[in-house]
Amino acid sequence: MYDIIYSMTSLPPTTYKELLKEFGNPFSIPYERLLWTFDWFDFRDRIVDRDDDKCTKCGRGKYRLLSNEELAEWNAKAQERVNKFHGGNARRI
């Protein structure tokens, strides 16, 4: 069920509730730690099931492992979106 292709952290997956206990303020939880929760895995699985294992933008089926270059490009775009959302004041993810 939790078939994450890459490891986001060396820590074991946890729950959002446990992260709240650890960090106190939900806004102080690093994004990469939020992505490494069982809650996120379940949410991601529901989205993938809902979209029939296909990308909603290009229609390609089944996910694939990205090359280092593709992953770096994706991470840069994700950081841009986070910065835009936080008005340019976001921590580096």
Indicate if 52 and 71 belong to the same structural domain: no
What string of pLDDT tens digits covers the 93 residues of the chain? 344 444 454 678 899 999 999 999 999 999 888 988 999 999 988 988 888 877 788 777 766 667 888 888 988 888 888 777 766 665 555
Q: What is the dihedral of CA 33, 23, 14, 84, to 10 degrees?
A: -30
Show the domain range for 57. Answer: 12-62
Q: Does residue 82 share a domain with residue 72?
A: yes
Quick one: 44 and 27 in the same domain? yes
Nearest to 52 by CA among 42, 65, 40, 61: 61
The answer to whether position 6 is within a domain reads no
54 and 79 share a domain? no
Report yes or no: 18 and 40 within 8 Å, Cβ to Cβ: no
pTM of the model: 0.50
Q: Do both 56 and 16 map to the same domain?
A: yes
